[in-house]
Chains A and B, each alone.
Chain A
C-alpha cells in the first residue's frame, strides 16, 4: 500500500465514521465493517405456533436471551398496551408473549425487568384489560406507569431531520437492555403499526409528532435509541380499523412472530406478513433511506421456522 493510498483510505474511513456518528448510526458502520459471521441471523421469522413456543424457537436461533441480557442487567420491555380492550381484539401485544420474554430475561440473569407504555386510553384500564399487568406480575417483572410527564426527560435526537428533541421515559434512558415488543396491526395514521411505530409509546410529546410530519418523526426517533431486540407479535393481527379496532371482526389469527435486532428489517418483514410492501409505508422507507436499518429483506440472513408440518 502506497502512502497516498493509505492516507486516502484513512480519511475516507474517518469521514465515514464521523458521518455515522453524526447520524447516530455507529452500529451500521461497524456492521458493514465487520464481515458477516456464519450462523448469526439478521432476522428470525416463526409461523404456526403459540406465541410462547414461537418466541422460544426464535430467541434460541439468535443465541438465546443471554446474547442480549447479561448478568445483573436492567431490562425494559415495551409492549403495546395502548388501548383499553381485551387481548382478543389484538390492539395490544399478546400477554403470553410478554410473560415469556420476561421469563427469558430473568433466566438470563436480569436484575430487573420493567414494563411500561404511554397509553392512549386510560392507562390503568389498559394495563389491566390487556392482560399484560397480570402477565408481568406472573413472570416476576415490574409494571411501571407511563402516565405522567414527570417520568419523561428531554433528549436530543441526533439523526433527526424533523424531530430534534423529544421527551423519553426514564426507563429507556436508564436500562441496559431495551426490548421492543409491538403487535402488528393496521394503523389509521401510520398505515401499519409495528416496531418503529411502537416507540411512540416511549415518548411523552407525540402530539408534536402528529403535528410535524408523523412518518418522518417516527423514523427520526430511531436515531435516538434503537431497541436491542424487536419482537413483533403477529399472532393475532388487526387488519383494519387500527390502531384501536372496533370489534374482533377486524382481527385474523396469523400465528406469526418476527424477531430482529434491526428495527427496519423487523418492520419490513412484518409489513409483508400484513400484506403491504415495506416501501409503501413512508416511515419504513424513510428509515431505510436514513440508514436506520434495512428493508431489503433479500440481503439479510433470515431464519424461517415453521412449527407444524
Chain B
C-alpha cells in the first residue's frame, strides 16, 4: 500500500499516529503537476516557489502553529482549576462542565464536519471560520470571567469546541495537500508533537500568568486577563490560517492541484454494515479516553490535595502525560509500524494505565512514576488503537467509521467529565480513581472480546508484520485466483458464438485450426479437455 494514499482523521487529544494515516487509500492527495512552472524573480525564489523546500517548510510551521492555539487553550481550565473554582465560586461539577461543553458540539461535528468542509465551505474558508470560532470562544470564556458570569464562560467553551476539533481536521487536510509519501508521516509527527507541546506549555505557564495578574487585579479579573492573554495563541492560529490559505491558493493555481478533501464525510448507511469488532473498538476508545482526559482536567487539585503539591508542581505533573506523549507518540508509532500486533499493544496500554490509576488511588508512592507510566501507555494506545479501525473497515467506509468513533468518544467525554465532577464533590478522589479504574476494566474487557473475535477468525488484527504481509499476499493470490476462476466461469456460462461452436466441432474431430486464424498449431480445448502443450508436427 502506498503511503501516498491517505485518510485524514481528526480527534482531540488522541491525534492519529502516522501509521493510521497511511493505512487507507480513500482520499487521493492533491497531486502537483510535475511540469516546469517557469517562475522568475521573487516568485521563483527558494522562499516563494511552491515546490521549494523553504516554502514548504514555512507551510509546515504554519500548519503546526495552526493547531497550537486550540490545544493550548483547550486545557486552560485544567491548568487553572483551583483559580477558576475560587474566582467563580463553583463546584467541581460546574467546573467539569467547562470540558463537557467543549465536547457537546463534537458529538455532532464529526458527523457533519467533513461534509461542511468538503462540500460547503472548502478547506481554506473552513479553516478560517473555525479559527475565528476558537478566538470567539476564548474571548467569550474570558469575558465570562471578567463579568463573573459563569454561564457565559460555558457558552465560550461551547463555541471554542465548535472550532477546536474541526481545526484539527483542517490541519490534517492541509498536511495531506502539501506533503506526500514519507514526508507526510513526518509532518503528522510534527503536528502531533506541537499539539502535545501546546497542551504541556499551557500547564507550565498558566499558573504563573494568573499569579502575575493577581498582583494587580481581583481574582476573577485576573482570571479574565489570563484567559484573554491565552487567547492570543488563538489569534496566532488565525493568522497562520490566513497565511496558509493564501499560500495554498497560490500553490493550487500554480501547480494546478486537485481539490483536497477531508475524506470524513459520514454515510449513515455504512453504520449498519460495521462488524461487532468496530463497536467493541468504539467502546475501548470511549472507555479508555474517559479515564484519561477527565483525569487531566481534574488533576491539578487532586495532586494538591492528596500529595500536598504546590499549584505549579501540580500543573507540571498534570501536563506530564502530554509532555511524554510529544516525543513518545512518534517513537511508539514507529514501533507499532514495525511490529504490528495492535490488539496486544492496546491491551498492554490499558493494563499499564490501570496500574497507574491503581497506584494513584491506593498508594502514596511518588505520583511521578504512575503518571509517567500513564503518559507512555496513553501514547502507545493512541498509536495502536486507531489503526485497528482501518484494518477492519473497508476503505470507502473509513470516514464514517472514524467520524462515528469520534462522536461516541466525545459523547462519553461530555457525560463522564460531568459525572467525574459530581463524584469529586460528593464522594472524593478515591471514588473518582475507582471510577476511572472501572472504565479501564470495561476497556480491557472490550479488548479481550476483540481479541477473542479476531482469534476465532483470521487473527489478522494481532498478527506480526511478516505474518500480516504473508496473509495479505495469500489473500492477494487468492483474490487473483478467484478473479481468474470467475472469469472462466463467466466464459463457460456465456452462450457460444458460431465460431466457437465450429472450433469445438473441429476440436472434437481432431482437426487443426487453419493458420490464417492466427492459431496455427493450437488444438482448441475447453476446461476439462486435454490441451496440447507442444505445436503439432504437421503444417
Please say whether chains A and B are actual partners in one complex: no
Q: Which residue numbers of B lie inside 8 Å of A, CB to CB?
A: none
